[in-house]
Amino acid sequence: MLLASLFTVHVLSALIWVGGMFFAHMALRPTVATVLQPPERLTLLVGVFARFFVWVKISIVLLFLTGFWIIHIYGNFAKAGWHIHSMLLIAVIMTIIFGVIYAGPYKALRYAVSLQQWPAAGAAMATIRRLVGINLVLGLITVVIGTSGRFLV
- Letters for 46-65 (x = contact with ligand HEM by CB under 6 A, - = none) are -----------------xx-
By C-alpha distance, which of 99, 98, 110, 109 is closest to 134?
A: 98
Nearer to ligand HEM, 20 or 146 (CB): 146
Question: What is the torsional sign of CA 141, 146, 150, 153?
Answer: positive
Nearer to ligand HEM, 105 or 139 (CB): 139
* Longest Cα separation, the chain: 55
Among positions 10, 45, 49, 121, the unique one binding ligand HEM when judged by CB under 6 A: 10
Nearer to ligand HEM, 10 or 41 (CB): 10
Least distance in Å: CB of 92 to ligand HEM? Answer: 7
Q: Which residues in 91-150 contact ligand HEM (CB under 6 A)?
A: 91, 94, 139, 142-143, 146-147, 150
Q: How far apart are CA 132 and CA 139, in angstroms?
A: 10
> Do the beta carbons of residue 103 and residue 109 sit within 8 Å?
no
Judged by CB under 6 A, does residue 88 bind ligand HEM?
yes
Residue facing ligand HEM at closest CB distance: 67
Q: Which residues, 6+ apart, have CB-to-CB distance to 7 below 8 Å?
A: 66, 70
By C-alpha distance, which of 16, 12, 45 is closest to 121?
A: 45
Judged by CB under 6 A, does residue 71 bind ligand HEM?
yes
Q: How far apart are CA 87 and CA 149, in angstroms?
A: 10
Enumerate binding residues for ligand HEM (CB under 6 A): 7, 10-11, 14, 18, 63-64, 67-68, 70-71, 84, 87-88, 91, 94, 139, 142-143, 146-147, 150
